[in-house]
Structure 1
Amino acid sequence: MKKLHLLRQRLIGAVPSLARDPDRLLTFVEEGSIEFRRGRNLSHEYQYAAQLVLTDFGDDLDTVMVPLLQWLAEYQPDAEPGEAVSFEAEILSNRSVDLALRVRLTERVIAKVDCEAGTIRVDRALPRFELDACPVTQHWQLLIRDTNTDDDYTLASEWGEVDSDGG
């Protein structure tokens, strides 16, 4: 479940309230299964629903959704758009919710059997797909504005690496 760890790291790095208190992000695996073929080949694929629960969440919902969708575009680009992410929320107050996200993930494992040597070599295939729109950008700022106002955009969060030139 390497992808779930990567997704968790992305959200902690991108969502300001999670960066301050990462223990407010709980992660679980539900409905896990393994797809494989019979025979000598032991390659297989993990398929599971990752559940991410953000407790006492008071930020704008897009501070979570935008980095999550960006991560899916990089690590799970074959996800069905209508089924890739679902969510539920429990309203705690006028300012906070408990937010539960469910994300469908797959991970391929290539297991090569060498009968003569008596070995099985396992490679975990976690391909990362470059974002076509901005392949060189490594640092992101999320700017949010209410379309019903003439207010300027507000910086909601930042994530990613800053290059050596400080940009």
Structure 2
Amino acid sequence: MKKLHLLRHHLINAVPVLANDPERLLTFVEEGSIEFHRGHNFSHEYQFTAQLVLTDFSADLDTIMVPLLQWLAEYQPDVTPTEAVSFEAEILSHKSVDVALRVKLTERVIAKVDCDTGQIKVDHALPRFPTTGCPAPRWQLLIRDSDAQTDYTLVAEWNGPHGG
């Protein structure tokens, strides 16, 4: 489940609250299955729902959602949009919540059998599907309060897929 590690790393780097305290992002696999086909090789696909729990989260929810959606566009573009992400939240105070996100992921594993040597070579296929038209090396997330007379506030920034 290398994709879940990649997603966690991306969110920690993109969301300032998590960068300062990565232990506030808990990751689990809620339910999963393996799809495989009978035959000579043991290639298979992990299909699972990752659960990401943000504890005592006081930032705007978009500070996590926008980087998550950007990551999904690159690593899981074939997911059904209405089923890709679901969430629930527990209100802790007027400023903070615990948020549980459920994200559907798949990960292909190519396992090639060499009967002559008795070896099985395994590769995790983690293709990226770069979004076109936006080669920015660095991304910034700016949010404006519902009061339209205020300026946007920088709430997060992270390296893009083409950045350093």
* Normalised-by-shorter TM-score class: over 0.9
Question: Could you tell me which residue of structure 1 aligns to residue 64 of structure 2?
Answer: 64
Distance (whole Å) between structure 2 residues aligned to residue 117 and residue 130 of structure 1: 37
Number of corresponding residues? 163
Is 1:93 aligned to 2:89, yes or no?
no
Instruction: Quickly say closer, same or farther: Cα 1:158–1:75, change in 2 above 3 A.
Output: same
Question: Could you tell me which residue of structure 2 aligns to residue 158 of structure 1?
Answer: 157
Percent same amino acid among aligned pairs? 72
Worse-matched range after superposition: 146-155 or 41-50: 146-155
Distance (whole Å) between structure 2 residues aligned to residue 11 and residue 117 of structure 1: 41
Worse-matched range after superposition: 147-156 or 116-125: 147-156
Question: Could you tell me which residue of structure 1 aligns to residue 129 of structure 2?
Answer: 129
Q: Give the CA deviation at 1:163.
A: 5.6
Q: Any idea what SS the aligned residue of 1:130 has?
A: coil
Amino acid at match of 1:150: Q
Aligned residue runs from structure 1 range 31-46, under 5 A: 31-46=31-46
Q: Any idea what SS the aligned residue of 1:109 has?
A: strand
Amino acid at match of 2:152: Y
Q: Any idea what SS the aligned residue of 1:156 has?
A: strand
Q: Give the CA deviation at 1:133.
A: 3.0
Aligned residue runs from structure 1 range 113-124, under 5 A: 113-124=113-124
Aligned residue runs from structure 1 range 104-119, under 5 A: 104-119=104-119
Q: Any idea what SS the aligned residue of 1:67 has?
A: helix
Amino acid at match of 1:7: L
Q: Any idea what SS the aligned residue of 1:42 has?
A: coil
Runs of 4 or more above 6 Å deviation: none
Aligned residue runs from structure 1 range 76-91, under 5 A: 76-91=76-91
Q: Give the CA deviation at 1:31.
A: 1.0
Whether contact under 8 Å (2:136, 2:163) holds in the other structure is no
Distance (whole Å) between structure 1 residues aligned to residue 146 and residue 159 of structure 2: 27
Q: Any idea what SS the aligned residue of 1:39 has?
A: coil
Can you list the C-alpha shifts for 1:61-100, whole angstroms capped at 9, x where unaligned? 0000000000000100001000000000000000000000
Instruction: Extract unaligned runs of 5+ from structure 2.
Output: none
Is 1:143 aligned to 2:128, yes or no?
no
Distance (whole Å) between structure 1 residues aligned to residue 56 and residue 31 of structure 2: 25
Distance (whole Å) between structure 2 residues aligned to residue 62 and residue 145 of structure 1: 11
**TM-score, normalising length from structure 2?**
0.95
Distance (whole Å) between structure 2 residues aligned to residue 163 and residue 122 of structure 1: 29
